[in-house]
């Protein structure tokens, strides 16, 4: 596995791969790799001759400096995991190489940021994501890129961006990987205080409950949202950022559930922000 640390070197490598006509997949990450990332890299390795993984903690997508500083970093463990999962290249640039002081261009998604994390983290978060992902696509030049369904809003926004801006890359969305107790894997999980596991699990419990209600015939979205919020509140020391039921295409709030919907939530447990989501449809849909 090659580790490439500059934009210029990655550009040359990408050109050589494209000229070789080998199939070429890409998994963008911010490091602190876990089984969720491993599943993306494995899938990319199964479907492509060459797999590039980026490890770059993107400063432009954090609005709280604190969260950026605290984001877990462990490059040596990440390189070992990426190689074991089947990566051929890890691109691990320095922030100054990715973002010069003179930069003046941003990629701005629009309506899809008016909901869920766009409301709580601000539009700036997704501008940071779209800008860095565009740059990574242009530097790495993959045919396919793999994203996780856990960041459902990010996945939808990236799909929209690729379509709207005609990026020549196919986006593959891969399922959420969970621990045995249901906690969705996230790089932030290592920061959950040990004694707050029950609280952290309240979000997946709430989503599972909401999904079951919908599958059993509940159609009133505000009532299902209330029932999900209760599941979180009964866990105790948890701050709800949002719990919502939205359209899978527009992310707009749904009032009456008569088709496939996205149940999505974000909570804070012991100062750690966790997100999760599930799809649900009424029986027969
Ligand atoms: O999902 C992530 O880890 C990040 O948002 C991404 C896509 C790597 C962009 O920094």
Please write the tens of the pLDDT for every residue from 182-191: 999 999 999 9
**Ligand 1 centroid, distance to 244 Cα (angstroms):** 22
d(C-alpha 117, C-alpha 114), whole Å? 8
Do 27 and 44 touch, CB atoms closer than 8 A? yes
Domain 187-276 sits in CATH at 3.30.1300.10
Q: If you ran DSSP here, which 8-state letter would residue 193 be given?
A: -
**Ligand 1 centroid, distance to 214 Cα (angstroms):** 31
Residues 147-164: tens digit of each pLDDT = 999 999 999 999 999 999
Question: Does ligand 1 have an atom closer than 6 angstroms to the CB of 148?
Answer: no
Is 70 exceeded by the pLDDT of residue 66? no
Nearest atom of ligand 1 to the alpha carbon of 28: 8
Question: Does ligand 1 have an atom closer than 6 angstroms to the CB of 151?
Answer: yes
Catalytic residue numbers? 37
Residue 245, φ and ψ in degrees, nearest 5: -125, 120
Percent of the chain at pLDDT > 70 equals 99
Select from 31, 49, 51 the least CA-distant residue to 41. Answer: 51
Is 90 exceeded by the pLDDT of residue 63? no
Residue 96, φ and ψ in degrees, nearest 5: -65, -25
d(C-alpha 170, C-alpha 168), whole Å? 7
End-to-end CA distance of the chain: give it in Å, rounded.
45
Beta bridge partners of 3: 90
* Tokens (6 digits) for 190: 């290592």
Residues 77-124: tens digit of each pLDDT = 999 999 999 999 999 999 999 999 999 999 999 999 999 999 999 999
**Ligand 1 centroid, distance to 129 Cα (angstroms):** 6
Ligand 1, residues 41, 126, 133: which to mutate, most atoms within 8 A of Cβ? Answer: 133
Residues 200-242: tens digit of each pLDDT = 999 999 999 999 999 999 999 999 999 999 999 999 999 999 9
Select from 10, 86, 74, 105 the least CA-distant residue to 45. Answer: 86
Do 210 and 224 touch, CB atoms closer than 8 A? yes
Domain boundaries, the chain: 2-174, 187-276
Ligand 1, residues 151, 155, 157, 189: which to mutate, most atoms within 8 A of Cβ? Answer: 151
Do 93 and 6 touch, CB atoms closer than 8 A? yes
Alpha-helix residue ranges (DSSP H) falling in the chain: 7-19, 35-47, 65-70, 75-85, 95-98, 117-120, 123-140, 152-164, 197-200, 202-215, 221-233
Is 80 exceeded by the pLDDT of residue 65? no
> Which CATH superfamily groups domain 2-174?
HUPs (3.40.50.620)
Going by pLDDT thresholds of 50, 70 and 90, the confidence category of residue 67 is confident
DSSP per-residue string spanning 54-103? EE---GGG-SSHHHHHHS---HHHHHHHHHHHT-SEEE---HHHHS-TT-
Question: Does ligand 1 have an atom closer than 6 angstroms to the CB of 30?
Answer: yes
How high does pLDDT run on average in the chain?
97
Residues 237-264: tens digit of each pLDDT = 999 999 999 999 999 999 999 999 999 9
């Amino acid at each position: 596995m090659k580790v490439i640390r500059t934009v210029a070197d990655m550009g040359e490598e990408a050109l050589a791969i494209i000229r070789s006509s080998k199939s070429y997949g890409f998994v963008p990450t911010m490091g602190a790799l876990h089984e969720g990332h491993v599943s993306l890299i494995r899938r990319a390795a199964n479907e492509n001759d060459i797999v590039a993984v980026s490890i770059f903690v993107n400063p432009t997508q954090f609005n709280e400096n604190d969260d950026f500083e605290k984001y877990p970093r462990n490059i040596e463990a990440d390189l070992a995991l990426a190689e074991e999962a089947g990566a051929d290249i890890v691109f691990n640039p320095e922030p100054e190489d990715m973002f010069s002081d003179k930069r003046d261009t941003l990629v701005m998604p629009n309506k899809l940021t008016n909901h869920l994390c766009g409301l709580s983290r601000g539009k700036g978060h997704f501008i940071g994501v779209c800008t860095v992902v565009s740059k990574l696509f242009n530097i790495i030049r993959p045919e396919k890129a793999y994203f996780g369904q856990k960041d459902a809003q990010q996945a939808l926004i990236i799909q929209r961006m690729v379509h709207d801006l005609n990026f020549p890359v196919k986006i593959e969305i891969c399922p959420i990987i969970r621990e045995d107790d249901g906690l969705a894997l996230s790089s932030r999980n290592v920061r959950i205080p040990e004694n707050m596991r029950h609280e952290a699990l309240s979000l997946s419990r709430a989503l599972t409950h909401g999904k079951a209600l919908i599958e059993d015939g509940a159609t009133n979205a505000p009532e299902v949202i209330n029932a999900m919020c209760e599941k979180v509140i009964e866990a105790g020391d948890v701050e709800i950022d949002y719990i919502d039921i939205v359209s899978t295409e527009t992310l707009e709030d749904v009032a009456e559930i008569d088709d496939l919907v996205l149940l999505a939530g974000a909570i804070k447990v012991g100062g750690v922000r966790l997100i999760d989501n599930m799809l649900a449809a009424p029986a027969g849909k």
